[in-house]
Amino acid sequence: MHGSESTVLEQATRRRTFAVISHPDAGKSTLTEALALHAHVIGEAGAVHGKSGRRGVASDWMAMEQERGISVTSAVMQFAYGDVVMNLLDTPGHADFSEDTYRVLSAVDCAVMLLDAAKGLEPQTLKLFEVCRHRRVPIITFINKWDRPGLDALELLDEIEQRLAIRTTPVTWPVGVAGDLQGLIDRRDPAQVIRFTRSTGGRAATESRISADADAARELSGLDAAEDELRLLDAVGADFDRETFLEGTSTPVFFGSAVSNIGVRLLLDAIVSIAPSPTPRLTLEGARRPVQAPFSGLVFKVQANMNPAHRDRIAFVRVCSGVFERGMVLNHAATGRPFTTKFANAMFGQNRTVVEQAYPGDIVGLVNAGALRPGDTLHEGEPVQFPAMPTFAPEHFVTVRTKDPSRSKQFRRGVTQLESEGVVQVLTSDFRGGHAPVLAAVGPMQFEVVLHRLEHEFGAPAVLEPLPYKLARRTDQASKDRLNRMRGVEVLTRTRDGILLALFTDRWSMDRAGADAPELTIEPLNITAE
Ligand code: G4P
């Protein structure tokens, strides 16, 4: 191994690239802030994320963002913790939940599943968990808001095990029920109790360790119960197991309160000590590309129209191997064409500061990246390609038509372009004709993006009409006609991959179709490719 390869390997070993998966309001923003509090924030890569006057270059996107109070631009925060470089990728939620939210998970090596102690598993967490499971992304669980009344700790573990079919291995354990948090016990060192004291006026607590035998510990009313529970956990062998954690079949669990900074450092330490650093990534050929191989990167998200004057696109690229150096000319595997990063402002940092170098696990934002699509590979040297980005089961459906028939050419071009960029899925059928295609999305915000871009970028103002469908399943040619004759069902072809999708107005009509005609193909469509 020559010098630069060992540098890349060493740098990769220092990286932890992860995302927080949670339902809105579980405390993701609070946890992110609390993590950053412990660390030294190096930069924040956001499309137009500037804090200091950068809003001057704000595009229509920013207007949309401000209007709706949602973050469409934040992408990744990089921070150093000790010797480790953390890349925390944002998974947009709320109204901006979209295919991008899922795609981000193709770029991480680990995920923190954040739960609200009072609510347990919630729908959005479940969806994101499924994507992680499909990719075998290791999951660390953080049960948040233990400072407030909530469910019983053992019950929460049981819920996770039952509903996710994953083994739970608590690493920390709360002393005191939810709402009466008296301390934490680190199961690796159960002879001590970690206590938290809040500074006067401050929300954040500082921690200290006392012996579990000390009088001060024995006075804690929750300690006996906690010790009983720990004995129970020991008896069932719920100990951290690295192998099953890395393959995604067990999850270490931490308890705490992000808002009070309780348990956050223990989580951060765990990310350093147990979360994997970038590993060789699987290529389309089935080989694994070593991290010290020449540069390769995966485009996992493309955001358009940051600056209406330039119509630029920004592609977020996860470095998979080698070192990224600004100015290098890469190969774009999908087209075989060179892609120059010379003028593409590699941006990283609060004010789009230019990044000169990035290592495996890091995220680089490339502007002027109109040719790049989510799932594309960029590389140096010998050809390499990573598997295509999966497509996800849409849950929102509309028809779209141009307001002005004289703009129908622009309209069609716009729809085709937006589909090829992965902004929405486009569905067609013989019955509907081509003038008003059906758009399908994971989140409704994707439709707004389509309308906005059709009007401002393609000069084809359009209108949407909602369709009553809520669910999509994969079907086949043999089942198509039968399904089309049923009430509350319609079969369409997804233009991206030619897959036939049966859309159902509700679960009831889907179950009934399956029960009435069990020979029909109605298959789940969570993730259709990898
Ligand atoms: P999100 O990004 O996942 O949507 O959640 P966010 O961090 O915005 O947190 C949602 C609410 O939950 C916030 O309250 C936040 O303060 C609260 N929260 C987060 N972590 C904890 C915790 O550990 N304990 C308790 N008790 N609350 C927590 P809010 O009322 O919406 O906002 P704020 O006025 O408190 O900022």
Position 311 scores a pLDDT of 64
Cα(44) to centroid(ligand 1), Å: 21
Find the 31 Cα to ligand 1 centroid distance in Å. Answer: 9
When pLDDT is cut at 50, 70 and 90, the band that residue 197 belongs to is confident
Q: How far is the CA of 255 from the centre of ligand 1 (A)?
A: 16
pLDDT band at 409 (very low <50, low <70, confident <90, very high): very high
Looking up tokens 């696990």 gives 361
The two beta strands, 250-255 and 139-144, are parallel
Place of tokens 């995604």: 248
Which ligand 1 atom sits nearest the alpha carbon of residue 23?
3
pLDDT at 28: 93
Residue 258 CA, ligand 1 centroid: distance in Å: 8
pLDDT at site 74: 57
Residue 177: pLDDT over 70: yes
**pLDDT at position 419, please?**
93
- pTM of the full predicted structure? 0.90
Buried-exposed string 325-345: b where 16+ CB fall within 10 A, e elsewhere: ebebebbbbbeeeebebeebb
Distance from the alpha carbon of residue 37 to the mean position of ligand 1, in angstroms = 16
26 lines ligand 1 (CB under 6 A): yes
- Strands 296-304 and 377-379, how do they pair? antiparallel
Q: Give the separation between CA 64 and CA 80, rounded to whole angstroms.
A: 32
Ligand 1 atom with least separation from CA of 24: 4
Ligand 1 atom nearest to 260, measured from its CA: 23
- Whose structure tokens read 């996992």? 300
Q: Which of 21, 30, 97 most suits a substitution to test ligand 1, by most atoms within 8 Å of the C-beta? A: 30
Tokens of 236: 């069932």
C-beta 30 within 6 A of ligand 1:
yes
| pLDDT tens-digit readout, 263-294 | 999 999 999 999 999 999 999 999 999 999 99
349 CA from centroid of ligand 1 (Å) = 26
Percent of the chain beyond pLDDT 70?
A: 87
Q: Which long-range contacts (CB under 8 A, 24 or more apart) does 356-359 make?
A: 356/325, 356/326, 357/323, 357/324, 357/325, 357/326, 358/319, 358/323, 358/324, 359/8, 359/11, 359/12, 359/15, 359/319, 359/323, 359/324
Q: How confident is the model at residue 45 (pLDDT cuts 50, 70, 90)?
A: low
Find the 145 Cα to ligand 1 centroid distance in Å.
8
Do the Cβ atoms of 177 and 226 come closer than 8 Å? no
Contacts of 234 (CB under 8 A, 6+ apart): none
The pick from 33, 196, 259 for probing ligand 1's pocket by mutation, whose C-beta has the most ligand atoms within 8 angstroms, reads 259
CA distances for 143 relative to 28, 262, 296, 301, 417, angstroms = 11, 11, 36, 29, 42
Number of Cβ atoms within 10 Å of the Cβ of 48: 20
Question: Is residue 29 in contact with ligand 1, taking CB distance under 6 Å?
Answer: yes
Q: Are 164 and 128 in contact (CB under 8 A)?
A: no
Provide CB contacts within 8 A for 93, sequence distance 6+.
22, 23, 24, 28, 101, 124
Q: Which of 516, 432, 438 is nearest to 479 (CA)?
A: 516
Q: Is 143 in the pocket of ligand 1 (CB under 6 A)?
A: no
The Å distance, Cα 182 to ligand 1 centre, comes to 20
Question: In the prediction, which pLDDT does 39 show?
Answer: 82
- Tell me the C-alpha distance between 256 and 175, whole Å: 11
- Which ligand 1 atom sits nearest the alpha carbon of residue 258? 23
If residue 16 lies in a helix (H) or strand (E), which one and from where to where?
strand 15-21
Helical (H) or strand (E) element with 34: helix 28-38
Q: Which bin fits 220, alpha (ψ -120 to 50), beta or left (φ > 0)?
A: beta
Residues 54 and 349 sit within 8 Å (Cβ to Cβ): no
186 CB near ligand 1 (under 6 Å)? no
For residue 217, the CA-to-ligand 1 centroid distance in Å is 29
What is the model's pLDDT at position 137?
A: 96
- Mean pLDDT for the chain overall: 87
Q: Which residues pair with 186 in a beta bridge?
A: 172
* Domains parsed from the chain with CATH numbers: 16-274 (3.40.50.300), 281-379 (3.40.50.300), 396-516 (3.30.70.3280)
| Direct distance between the N- and C-terminal alpha carbons of the chain, in angstroms, rounded to an integer | 32
85 touches 271 (CB < 8 A): no
Cα–Cα distance measured from residue 265 to residue 35, given in angstroms and rounded to the nearest whole number: 7
Q: For residues 530 and 526, what is the distance between their CA atoms, to the nearest angstrom? A: 11
Query: Which residue's CA is minimally distant from atom 4 of ligand 1?
Result: 25
At residue 382, does pLDDT exceed 50? yes
Q: What was the pLDDT predicted at 498?
A: 92
With CA atoms as reference, report the closest residue to 255 among 180, 179, 171, 191.
171
Judge if the beta carbon of residue 74 lies within 6 A of ligand 1.
Answer: no
pLDDT at 525 over 50: yes
- DSSP code at position 458: T
Closest C-alpha residue for ligand 1 atom 25: 145
pLDDT tens profile 229-261: 999 999 999 999 999 999 999 999 999 999 999
**Residue 137: phi, psi to the nearest 5?**
-80, 125
Mutate to test the pocket of ligand 1, among 20, 25, 264 (most ligand atoms within 8 A of CB): 25
Q: Evaluate: CB of 94 within 6 angstroms of ligand 1.
A: no
